[in-house]
């Protein structure tokens, strides 16, 4: 077992490797929770982009409550990967979703990080078994799959690969909880984990409807935000459908609607993501954005998530007594169980 040199709730220094949309979001989250964060990203403009992302996220983070001592000033951008992880007590990898790159990067991180320190990948779909093949100590490599933006959406799915030590998965789950996340620890690897597997089914149908001219991008988005999405923020799809069975609950729902719900399973096919569909999706999203910039949409999304968290009783949350003004001060969101 990679005996981590640090208890999950005593971590103070986190390294984030890859600082784009998700790596930057992780940086913002860890800073807001009071950690010292060291980031590394090979892109020449990475530091500027990262600091811009953190600055844009900070007002939302102030709204939901910062840990004592939290500050963007506690971010250091390292010149090399080795420097970034040299002193880390936890490493979050968020490099591009390319299997070969992940394999080699995780091996480099394993070689450079202090012995025993847990290294998590943000991958949105690769099983850790396929990514840990080149590492000398694959036992300490786990998946920690976040949701965009990681500084507001509580969920992290944690799962190991065939060579991951069970204790590493357990340590990572405890660490994310201490860092204010809501954790699902998976016993076994599933492509897409749980939430993306569900999202993939929805996404396939959305693309299919656009490809076939059956619905516009706006209609698809409205159908969720004005419909099931309102329920899903606080009650999942299974319990929601149990209520479709009235007093008979899920049993009646399945007896009543089961046969009619089953027939589509056999007729649904994957669409071809060709240039025509790509253009239709890009144009449809531009139209749905209605002239709003990405920065405006990010601010709108962040406020929307905060409003939903607050409306559903997940904000504000009591802080626990922080003795060191750091990670022991739990998040104001996400881990109410």
Ligand X SMILES: NC(=O)C1=CN([C@@H]2O[C@H](COP(=O)(O)OP(=O)(O)OC[C@H]3O[C@@H](n4cnc5c(N)ncnc54)[C@H](O)[C@@H]3O)[C@@H](O)[C@H]2O)C=CC1
Ligand Y SMILES: C[N+](C)(C)CC(=O)CC(=O)[O-]
- Annotated binding residues for NAD(+), written as ranges, equal 18-23
| Structure-block tokens of residue 21 | 């949309």
124 binds ligand X (CB under 6 A): yes
30 lines the binding site for ligand Y (CB under 6 A): no
Does 147 engage in binding with ligand Y (CB under 6 A)?
A: yes
Interface with ligand X, residue 94, by CB under 6 A: yes
| Rounded Cα gap, residues 118 and 283, in angstroms | 42
CB 227, CB 302: distance < 8 Å: no
CB of 318 to ligand Y, least distance (A): 27
Instruction: CB nearer to ligand Y: give 132 or 196.
Output: 196
| 10 versus 103: smaller Cβ distance to ligand X | 103
Among ligand Y, ligand X, none, the one that 196 touches (CB under a kind-dependent 5 to 8 A) is ligand Y
Residue span binding ligand X (CB under 6 A) among the ranges 42-50, 264-272, 277-285, 309-317: 42-50
Nearest residue (CB) to ligand Y, 80 versus 148: 148
Question: Could you tell which of ligand X, ligand Y, none binds residue 177, using a CB distance below 5 to 8 A set by kind?
Answer: none
* Near ligand Y by CB under 6 A: residue from 38, 92, 94, 124: 124
Least distance from C-beta 263 to ligand Y, angstroms? 28
| 8 vs 149 by CB, closer to ligand Y | 149
Residue 122 found at the interface with ligand X (CB under 6 A):
yes
CA distance 44 to 183: 34
> For residues 125 and 157, is the Cβ–Cβ distance under 8 A?
no
Cβ-defined contacts of 114-117 (< 8 Å, 24+): 114/5, 114/85, 114/86, 114/87, 114/88, 115/2, 115/5, 116/2, 116/3, 116/4, 116/5, 116/140, 117/2, 117/4, 117/5, 117/6, 117/85, 117/88, 117/89, 117/90, 117/91
Nearer to ligand X, 32 or 81 (CB): 81
Contact indicator for 158, 142 with CB cutoff of 8 Å = yes
Q: Which does 228 bind (CB under 5 to 8 A by kind): ligand Y, ligand X, none?
A: none
Among ligand Y, ligand X, none, the one that 43 touches (CB under a kind-dependent 5 to 8 A) is: ligand X
Angle between helices 217-225 and 275-289 in degrees, nearest 10: 60
Question: Mask 3-32, x = binds ligand X (CB under 6 A)?
Answer: --------------xxxxxxx---------
Should residue 332 be labelled a site residue for ligand Y when binding is judged by CB under 6 A?
Answer: no
Q: 121 or 328: whose CB is closer to ligand X?
A: 121
Backbone angles phi, psi at 118, to 5 degrees: -80, 140
If binding means CB under 6 A, how many residues of this protein chain bind ligand X? 23
96 binds ligand X (CB under 6 A): yes
Please count the residues of the chain.
337
Rg (C-alpha) for the chain, rounded Å, is 21
DSSP state of 313: T
Burial status of residue 136 (CB atoms within 10 A of its CB: 0-12, 13-18, 19 or more)? exposed
**Interface with ligand Y, residue 92, by CB under 6 A:** no
Nearest distance from C-beta of residue 298 to ligand X, angstroms: 12
Q: Residues annotated as binding site?
A: 18-23
- Interface residues for ligand Y in 180-239 (CB under 6 A)? 196, 199
Tokens of 122: 């943000």
Round to whole Å and give the CA distance between 307 and 332.
Answer: 14
| Chain positions contacting ligand Y, by CB under 6 A | 124, 147-148, 196, 199
Binding residues for ligand X, per CB under 6 A? Answer: 17-23, 41-43, 46, 94-97, 101, 105, 122-124, 145-146, 148
């Amino acid at each position: 077992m990679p005996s981590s040199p640090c208890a999950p709730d005593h971590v103070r220094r986190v390294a984030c490797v890859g600082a784009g949309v998700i790596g930057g979001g992780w940086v913002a989250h860890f800073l807001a929770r009071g950690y010292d964060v060291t980031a590394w990203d090979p892109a020449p403009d990475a530091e500027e982009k990262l600091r811009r992302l953190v600055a844009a996220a900070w007002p939302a983070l102030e709204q939901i409550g910062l840990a004592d001592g939290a500050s963007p000033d506690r971010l250091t951008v390292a010149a090399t990967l080795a420097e970034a992880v040299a002193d880390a007590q936890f490493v979050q990898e968020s490099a591009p979703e390319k299997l070969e790159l992940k394999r080699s990067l995780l091996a480099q991180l394993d070689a450079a990080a202090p012995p025993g320190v847990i290294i998590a990948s943000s991958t949105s779909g690769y099983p850790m078994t396929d990514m840990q093949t080149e590492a000398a100590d694959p036992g300490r490599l786990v998946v920690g799959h976040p949701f965009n933006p990681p500084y507001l959406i509580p969920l992290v799915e944690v799962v190991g690969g065939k060579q991951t030590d069970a204790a590493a998965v357990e340590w990572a789950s405890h660490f994310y909880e201490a860092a204010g996340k809501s954790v699902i620890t998976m016993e076994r690897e599933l492509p897409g984990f749980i939430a993306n597997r569900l999202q993939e089914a929805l996404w396939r149908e959305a693309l299919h409807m656009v490809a076939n001219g059956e619905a516009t991008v706006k209609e698809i988005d409205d159908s969720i935000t004005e419909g099931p999405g309102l329920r899903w923020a606080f009650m999942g799809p299974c319990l929601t459908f149990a209520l479709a069975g009235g007093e008979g609950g899920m049993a009646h729902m399945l007896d009543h609607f089961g046969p009619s719900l089953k027939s589509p399973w056999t007729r649904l096919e994957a669409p071809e993501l060709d240039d025509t569909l790509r253009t239709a999706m890009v144009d449809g999203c531009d139209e749905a954005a209605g002239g709003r910039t990405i920065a405006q949409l990010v601010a709108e999304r962040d406020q929307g998530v905060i409003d939903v968290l607050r409306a559903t009783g997940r904000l504000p949350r009591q802080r626990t007594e922080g003795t060191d003004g750091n990670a022991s001060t739990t998040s104001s969101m996400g881990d109410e169980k």
